[in-house]
Amino acid sequence: MNDIKIFNSLEAEPPARVKVLFPLPLFKAYDYLLPIGVTAEPGQFVKAPFGLREIFGVVWPNEAAVSDDKDVGRRWGKVDLAKLKSIIEVLPVQGLSPDLIDFVAWSADYTLSPLGSVLRMVMRSGDALTPRAPQTGFVLSGGLPKRSTPQREQVLAAAGATPLTAARLAEAAGVSDAVVRGLAKAGGLRAVEIDPDPPFSAPDLSRMGKPLSEDQLFAVGEIKKQIDAGGHTATLIDGVTGSGKTEVYLEAVSAALQKDETAQVLILIPEIALTLPFLGRVEERFGAAPAPWHSEMTAAARRRTWRRVGEGDPTKRARLVVGARSALFLPFQNLKLIIVDEEHDNAYKQEDGVIYHARDLAVARGARAGFPVLLASATPSLETVVNVDEGRYSAVGLPSRFASANLPDISLVDMRSDPPEKGRWLSPPLCAAVEHNLSVGEQSLLFLNRRGYAPMTLCRRCGHKMTAPNSDTMLVEHRFENRLVCHHTGFSMPKPKACPSCNAVDSLAPCGPGVERVAEEAVARWPEAQIKILSSDTAPGPRAMREVLDAMQAGEIDILIATQVAAKGHHFPNLTLVGVVDADLGLSGGDLRAAERTYQLLSQVTGRAGRDVKPGRAMLQTYQPQASVFEALVTGDRDAFLAAEAEGRRYLSFPPYGRLAAIIMRSGDEVVLDKAARDLLAAAPNGDGVEVLGPSRAPIYRLRGQARMRFLIKARRGVNLQAYLNDWLGRVKTPSSVRCVVDINPYSFL
């Protein structure tokens, strides 16, 4: 701590002023004094008093904020220089890079979020700014101790060139700490400092990747040209699952890291469950593990990644990061390439706090800082496909699966003509296919994107539906835990014996299937088979999930019954049948992307079958076999499906042919909320090319005791929707009991 300078605000004059932005929901940076002789560049971390606390913030550039007295007077009332507080410390750590500052400011404008809330995403690794004391470790000194004992010999045998703490070394040698310290004193060991946040090993760029196919070589060549040329480009790597997209973009990573020896690269992936195997794959390619970033990491691991990504010394900086969407806000010093894997995935949309889509922000970041962004997908989003068609993005294609693997043969089961028995969910054709697989020793996956036992619990006597308290959300029965759980609010309760409405005993009946119920049926049908369930609550956490996935990969499971956690990325060599229990599930509801999402999810999950030498097949159980999305899946005609979807969206001027935003208002008081929504509507400015729909009740109207109203704002593509919304929201003062959030380009309409 002693190299941190402490400044006194009364020190001298004339004081310089700086803006400081705090990681709090604030729209502006605040003025502070900088003691004489002290300089603080934009981006540097400082500690400053704010209200009654002393907190960390960042020196913010002046342009966007207020700088002269006239402005200060206008916006904040007259600020007396003598009343300005002084910053307390300039932290001795590398500050934020100018392009990250620019990105934070741009993201706040784009998402209509407070600037400080976006900064908070950058500063999320709680204690990363305070230095941690180094530990002492011991390595072999090369010399021998003056006196040797059997215990000392054990320590010498356990020690090496990698420093270990006395406790770790003593444990490895099976002796006490005192022996280790004694040996060090006697000259057999040398004490060295252990960095509490050790640097990540640098990727070995001399290692070669796999020999590439002709298609892969072509794709890599195109991408390398862009990296060599410099500047921003956005490129879609378009290829079916298993076509080798990952191998292609790993070559791009190598090229970008070689081009500039201090460059950093970020690979975004949608699912935490996928990170572990993916990290292994990257390590294999570059001989060094990349820096990981996701919400399941320990605080210490997050701190290490955060500090090493933001490191000032380029030789100690993490060069390659693999992370979930929030990795976009890590303190990169010289980011030169972003890859968004599975770019269509909805997990990239963050729905609370600052609402953003990581793919869109990644492209914006690349465009502003002038570096390439690669988007990879087997089922690209319509937004991206239109961007390619209209020439804003380029595309490289990988038309077939790598080597001998072929795409699975997909067929429909018409549930009207081939219904399952009453109270069961698997149709005769699907059961026959599973039985065939059991008989030949191949694996099957039954896919149902619904956790728990039954999605709805209904009283057989009075028809009462079990809902979460003060919410219009269904309670889902989870039979393993014997509880009713709300998937929206997290509320749960033991399943009651009697109906809370009519008091009838044992009248609450499960309606419809979840994965647990399908598993129950499978166990009853195939008692000899090895059957496992995989969903986020039967295998909580990436490790538990990994165990099931590893067992599946090793062929220890005959039938896996899974939600979408099994849909992505995995490679099960002996899986040859995928049965989709309810293919219609995602199609209902007023979601403009329902068909597109169904297409993406079902092609992902059916793509798990036949990834190796054995051919695969998939069966979709549906009550609407005529739906165009199923026809597209069966014929494999993705482009025709996308063209039809695009036509529909163009007709309705929905994204990407028009712009869309939602305003969601919520309050515990329905009367106040109603009035606030009407007042907001009355204040809506007339905007050319802007259409305001609503207010209307949200489909889930009551959630955690709060009533919710929604506006939908549609605009022509050229309209500055953010400016319109700022103007509008600035005209009304909503009561403090009403919360109002803006969702630019909404994906959730609940």
Q: Which residues bind ligand ADP (CB under 6 A)?
A: 210-213, 216, 239, 241-247, 402, 571
Quote the least distance from Cβ 242 to ligand ADP, whole Å. 4
Give the three-state DSSP class for 183: helix
Nearest to 286 by CA among 310, 311, 267, 270: 267
Residue closer to ligand ADP, measured from CB, 197 or 215: 215
Please state whether the peptide bond connecting residue 14 to the residue before it is cis, i.e. omega within 30 degrees of 0. yes
Quote the least distance from Cβ 248 to ligand ADP, whole Å. 7
Quote the least distance from Cβ 568 to ligand ADP, whole Å. 10
Quote the least distance from Cβ 383 to ligand ADP, whole Å. 20
Sheet holding 373-377, edge to edge: 291-293, 320-323, 264-268, 335-341, 373-377, 234-239, 394-398
Quote the least distance from Cβ 247 to ligand ADP, whole Å. 4
Quote the least distance from Cβ 603 to ligand ADP, whole Å. 12
Quote the least distance from Cβ 244 to ligand ADP, whole Å. 3
Residue closer to ligand ADP, measured from CB, 250 or 321: 250
Residue closer to ligand ADP, measured from CB, 378 or 690: 378
Torsions phi, psi of 53, nearest 5? Answer: -110, 170
What are 163's two structure tokens? 């420093």
Quote the least distance from Cβ 288 to ligand ADP, whole Å. 19
Nearest to 557 by CA among 407, 436, 437: 437
314 CB-near residues (< 8 Å, 6+ apart): 261, 262, 333, 334
Whole-Å CA distances, 200 to 132, 278, 641, 721: 17, 17, 45, 42
Residue closer to ligand ADP, measured from CB, 608 or 714: 608
CA distance 488 to 271: 19
Residue closer to ligand ADP, measured from CB, 488 or 571: 571
* Beta strands 89-90; 349-350: pairing state: unpaired
What are 212's two structure tokens? 């590439």
* Beta strands 320-323; 45-50: pairing state: unpaired
Place of tokens 């007259």: 78
Residue closer to ligand ADP, measured from CB, 213 or 536: 213
Quote the least distance from Cβ 245 to ligand ADP, whole Å. 3
Residue closer to ligand ADP, measured from CB, 216 or 576: 216
Residue closer to ligand ADP, measured from CB, 601 or 707: 601
Residue closer to ligand ADP, measured from CB, 69 or 284: 284
CA distance 556 to 564: 20
What are 125's two structure tokens? 């690794």
Residue closer to ligand ADP, measured from CB, 111 or 241: 241
Residue closer to ligand ADP, measured from CB, 211 or 527: 211
Nearest to 484 by CA among 470, 496, 500, 499: 496
CA distance 347 to 59: 32
Quote the least distance from Cβ 202 to ligand ADP, whole Å. 23
Quote the least distance from Cβ 213 to ligand ADP, whole Å. 5
The CA R_g of the chain, rounded to the nearest whole Å, is 29
Whole-Å CA distances, 164 to 140, 154, 366: 10, 15, 41
449 CB-near residues (< 8 Å, 6+ apart): 563, 564, 582, 585, 586, 601
CA distance 133 to 140: 23
Residue closer to ligand ADP, measured from CB, 8 or 404: 404
CA distance 196 to 388: 46
What's the first-to-final CA gap in the chain, in angstroms? Answer: 49
Quote the least distance from Cβ 277 to ligand ADP, whole Å. 10
